[in-house]
């Protein structure tokens, strides 16, 4: 009976291997994508080697390895676009994919080589690189979901960051005025200012409509008085010039 239980346990371990966590990471073309992976470092003796590879984690090592570290420094690197920017001595072995491309989409394996039989920490990541959206901002966004195998106690969290594009405010129209050369020009200026006042009043909040209306009426009255005085002065100057010419 005992031998049968031991045999079943051995078969289960050989078929399932180490505990494997599943993560999904989403990024955009042209951005730097960080694929998280950590392990616990109790002291300098617990610092260990690890590797990143394409495809799912095999029974040992990494298939199609892209970067290796002995726990202190990077020992092998398939491409300069694959980097380990975390603090290796603190167990941060997250992979950074620089200038991500659509071809970078796929499954990645993070394998931390823990001493002992079947002790390796394995995490499979599904990386999805999408085309960048057309916007005034360039957000770097990645999300993750974790599904741990039965008996797993490891946890992982990933921050989701979103940057929304800013929309600039439209510029207010500007009007220029010049001295009127005659009664018709003065009346045109008066009508233009009146229309500007009415348009400005309609764009304000309803609560201030009454005050703006009163102010517009006062301004219009002053403009009419000014136009009247200018017209009177114009006719006076014209009459004076005619008299002088005669």
Q: Is the pTM of this model over 0.85?
A: no
- What is the average per-residue pLDDT within 28-33? 95
pLDDT value of residue 246? 60
202-230: pLDDT as tens digits = 454 555 667 777 888 888 888 889 888 88
pLDDT value of residue 155? 42
Higher-confidence residue of 41 and 157: namely 41
Higher-confidence residue of 106 and 135: namely 106
Assigned domain for 192 exists: no
Q: How confident is the model at residue 187 (pLDDT cuts 50, 70, 90)?
A: low
Q: Are residues 120 and 58 in contact, defined by beta-carbon separation less than 8 angstroms? A: no
Assigned domain for 208 exists: no
58-73: pLDDT as tens digits = 988 998 999 999 999 9
- Reduce the secondary structure of 39-90 to three states and give it as a string: CCCCCHHHCCCEEEEECCCCCCCCCCEEEEECCCCEEEECCCCEECCCCHHH
Angle at 170 between CA 166 and CA 172, to 5 degrees: 150
Assigned domain for 46 exists: yes
Quote the number of domains for the chain: 1
Higher-confidence residue of 197 and 237: namely 237
Assigned domain for 7 exists: no
State the chain's mean pLDDT as an integer: 74
Assigned domain for 75 exists: yes
* 121-130 and 20-28 strand pairing: parallel
Q: Are residues 94 and 36 in contact, defined by beta-carbon separation less than 8 angstroms? A: yes
Its domain, for residue 64, covers 20-130
Q: How is residue 38 annotated by DSSP?
A: B
Cβ neighbours for 137, distance < 8 A, ≥ 6 positions apart: 163, 164, 165, 166
Assigned domain for 241 exists: no
Assigned domain for 243 exists: no
The enclosing domain of 62 has a CATH number of: 2.60.40.10
115-131: pLDDT as tens digits = 888 889 999 999 999 99
* pLDDT higher than 70, residue 54: yes
Instruction: Say whether 160 sits in a helix, a strand or coil.
Output: coil
Assigned domain for 154 exists: no
* pLDDT higher than 70, residue 35: yes
């Amino acid at each position: 009976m005992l031998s049968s239980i031991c045999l079943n346990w051995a078969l289960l371990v050989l078929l399932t291997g180490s505990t494997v966590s599943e993560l999904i990471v989403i990024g955009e073309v042209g951005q730097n994508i960080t694929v998280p992976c950590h392990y616990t470092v109790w002291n300098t003796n617990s610092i260990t080697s690890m590797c990143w590879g394409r495809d799912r984690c095999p029974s040992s090592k990494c298939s199609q390895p892209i970067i290796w570290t002995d726990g202190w420094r990077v020992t092998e690197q398939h491409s300069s676009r694959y980097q380990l920017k975390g603090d290796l001595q603190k167990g941060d072995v997250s992979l950074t994919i620089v200038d991500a491309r659509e071809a970078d989409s796929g499954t990645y394996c993070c394998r931390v080589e823990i001493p002992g039989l079947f002790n390796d920490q394995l995490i499979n990541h599904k990386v999805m690189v999408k085309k960048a959206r057309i916007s005034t901002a360039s957000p770097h966004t990645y999300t993750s979901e974790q599904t741990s195998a039965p008996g797993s106690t490891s946890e992982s969290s990933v921050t989701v960051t979103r940057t929304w594009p800013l929309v600039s405010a439209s510029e207010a129209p500007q009007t220029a005025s010049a001295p009127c050369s005659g009664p018709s020009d003065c009346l045109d200026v008066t009508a233009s200012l009146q229309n500007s006042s009415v348009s400005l009043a309609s764009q304000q909040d309803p609560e201030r409509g009454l005050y703006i209306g009163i102010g517009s009426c006062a301004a219009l009255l002053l403009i009419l008085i000014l136009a009247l005085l200018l017209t009177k002065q114009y006719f006076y100057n014209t009459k004076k010039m005619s008299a002088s010419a005669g």
